[in-house]
Amino acid sequence: MEDHITPRRVVILGGGFAGLFAVRALRKAPVEVTLVDRCAHHLFQPLLYQCASGILSSGQIAQPLRAVLRRHGNVRCVLATATDVDPFARVVHAESADGSLLALPYDNLIVGVGVRQSY
Ligand X SMILES: Cc1cc2nc3c(=O)[nH]c(=O)nc-3n(C[C@H](O)[C@H](O)[C@H](O)COP(=O)(O)OP(=O)(O)OC[C@H]3O[C@@H](n4cnc5c(N)ncnc54)[C@H](O)[C@@H]3O)c2cc1C
Q: Which residues bind ligand X (CB under 6 A)?
A: 13-19, 36-39, 45-46, 48-49, 81-82, 112-114
Q: Which amino acid is at 22?
A: A
By C-beta, is 18 or 31 nearer to ligand X? 18
By C-beta, is 89 or 97 nearer to ligand X? 97
- Nearest C-alpha neighbor of 14 from the set 100, 92, 119: 92
Q: How far is the CB of 19 from ligand X (least distance, A)?
A: 6
By C-beta, is 13 or 68 nearer to ligand X? 13
How many Cα neighbours within 13 Å face the side chain of 106?
Answer: 23
Q: How far is the CB of 79 from ligand X (least distance, A)?
A: 9
- Backbone φ, ψ for residue 58 (5° rounding): -60, -30
